[in-house]
Amino acid sequence: MQYVVYCLGIALYNITFHPLAKIPGPKLRGAFAFEHYWEIWTGDMMSNSKVLHDRYGDTVRVAPSIVSFNNAEAWQGIAYLSLIYCSISK
């Protein structure tokens, strides 16, 4: 019983207070990572990713801590931030 309450508490946190909570995407995927890993296992990740991007836009939260992008502008921003982070961490 305690484990179920713990999992529900984590799911509630992931949907409401997590730093990525404002990114569009299915709430169930934002709460639990199981569906994302199941898609990787079955090989359906790419086709389902297209469906999610068609429904939610260029930026989609596909798991509690995983965001999917499908435009070049997002990749430029990611590369810029990683360049800054790598130069600071050295």
pLDDT per residue as tens digits for the range 34-61: 988 999 999 998 889 899 999 998 888 9
The pTM is what? 0.74
Mean pLDDT computed over every residue of the chain:
85
Instruction: Extract the tokens encoding 61.
Output: 């939260």
Flag whether pLDDT at 85 surpasses 60: no
Query: What 3-state DSSP class applies to 16?
Result: helix
Flag whether pLDDT at 89 surpasses 60: no
pLDDT at 31: 93
> Rounded to an integer, what distance in angstroms lies between the CA atom of residue 7 and that of residue 9?
5
Quickly count: other Cβ atoms within 10 Å of residue 39's Cβ: 18
pLDDT at 46: 87
